[in-house]
Amino acid sequence: MSSATLTLAKQLINRASVTPSDGGCHDLMIDRLEAIGFTVTRLPFGEVDNFWAQRGESKPLFAFAGHTDVVPTGPLESWDSPPFEATERDGYLYGRGAADMKGSLAAMITACEAFVAEHPDHLGSIGFLITSDEEGPAVDGTVKVVEYLEENNIKIDYCLVGEPSSTTKLGDVIKNGRRGSLGCRLVINGIQGHVAYPHLAENPIHRAMPVLAELSAMSWDNGNEFFPATSFQISNINSGTGATNVIPGECEVIFNFRYSTETTHEKLQQQVEAIIDKHQLNYEVEWNLSGLSFLTDVGELVDATCRAIESTTGYATKLSTAGGTSDARFIAPTGSQVVELGPINATIHQVNECVRSSDLDLLSTVYQRILDNLLTK
d(CA 163, CA 92): 18
Q: Quote the percentage of the chain above a pLDDT of 70.
A: 100
Contact between 265 and 274 (Cβ < 8 Å): no
Q: Are 202 and 253 in contact (CB under 8 A)?
A: no
d(CA 62, CA 222): 34
The residue type found at 90 is D
pLDDT of residue 323: 83
pLDDT score of 1: 59
**Which residues lie below 8 Å from residue 305, measured CB to CB, with a gap of 6+?**
160, 174, 317, 339, 341, 366, 370
Provide the residue-wise pLDDT of the chain in tens; the chain has 377 residues: 579 999 999 999 999 999 999 999 999 999 999 999 999 999 999 999 999 999 999 999 999 999 999 999 999 999 999 999 999 999 999 999 999 999 999 999 999 999 999 999 999 999 999 999 999 989 999 999 999 999 999 999 999 999 999 999 999 999 999 999 999 999 999 999 999 999 999 999 999 999 999 999 999 999 999 999 999 999 999 999 999 999 999 999 999 999 999 999 999 999 999 999 999 999 999 999 988 999 999 999 999 999 999 999 999 999 999 888 899 999 999 999 999 999 999 999 999 999 999 999 999 999 999 999 999 98
pTM for this predicted structure: 0.90
> For residues 341 and 169, what is the distance between their CA atoms, to the nearest angstrom?
12
Q: Which residues are known catalytic residues?
A: 69, 134
158-161 sheet: strands from edge to edge: 39-42, 51-55, 125-131, 61-67, 158-161, 337-340, 173-175, 318-320
pLDDT of residue 147: 97
